[in-house]
Amino acid sequence: MPVTERYGESPPAGSLTSGVDVSVPSEQALAIDVERVVVQGLGVAPLMVVRDVPLSVEFYRRLGFQPLVEWGGYAKLVNGTGILHLAAQGDPPPDRPQVALRAPDDTASAVAAAIVVQVANCRQACIELVAAGVNLLTEPVEPEWGGEVRAFLRDPDGHLVEINEALV
């Protein structure tokens, strides 16, 4: 089935998105093929590798996270329904051979991933974060595509954090 039949109209020829489907798929096109599902997940909870777990716990407390578990080189934090795992960098354990955990380069100008923290009011959250000593990379702004207000910061290890307010 051609893309336009599944997803609707194509972008105008010559536009930046011509040849790339940017339309919203129909519910039918988004239906999950249950015969192909291998694992039925209960949610996604990222693990962030950090250099200093207690320092990172204190940082994420300012973003509204509360620790559920803290020990040595590990902490499990919650914020609303979200869960965030923090783990100290280290060599591979026996159950994860050949995969060491390393914190990112906190001076890098590129990142491989980011964490997005949803808030009710991005501008107010940023005022409170700055008052609590958090440095913003950007002031809150509504991007040209609209639908949200967002601001960015980095945690003590250089992980990119987006503070995001969805505009209804």
Question: What's the pLDDT tens digit per position in 29-60?
Answer: 566 666 777 777 788 899 999 999 999 999 99
What is the structure's pLDDT at 72?
A: 86
10, part of any domain: no
What is the structure's pLDDT at 111?
A: 87
What is the structure's pLDDT at 79?
A: 93
23, part of any domain: no
More confident residue, 17 or 99: 99
| Range 129-135 average pLDDT | 94
How many domains does the chain divide into? Answer: 1
37, part of any domain: no
56, part of any domain: yes
What Cα–Cα distance (Å) separates residue 82 from each residue in 4, 42, 116, 164? 36, 12, 10, 14
73, part of any domain: yes
Q: What is the pLDDT of residues 8-31, one digit of tens each?
A: 444 444 434 444 444 555 666 566
Domain residues for the domain of 67 are 43-166
26, part of any domain: no
3, part of any domain: no
Q: What is the pLDDT of residues 147-165, one digit of tens each?
A: 999 999 999 999 999 999 9
The average confidence (pLDDT) of the chain is: 83
What is the structure's pLDDT at 22?
A: 46
* CATH code at position 151: 3.10.180.10
80, part of any domain: yes
| Range 110-117 average pLDDT | 90
Task: Please give the model's pTM, rounded to 2 decimal places.
Answer: 0.74
| Range 85-95 average pLDDT | 91
- Check pLDDT > 60 for residue 69: yes
DSSP letters spanning 27-83? HHHH---TTT-----S----EEEES-HHHHHHHHHTTT-EEEEEETTEEEEEETTEE
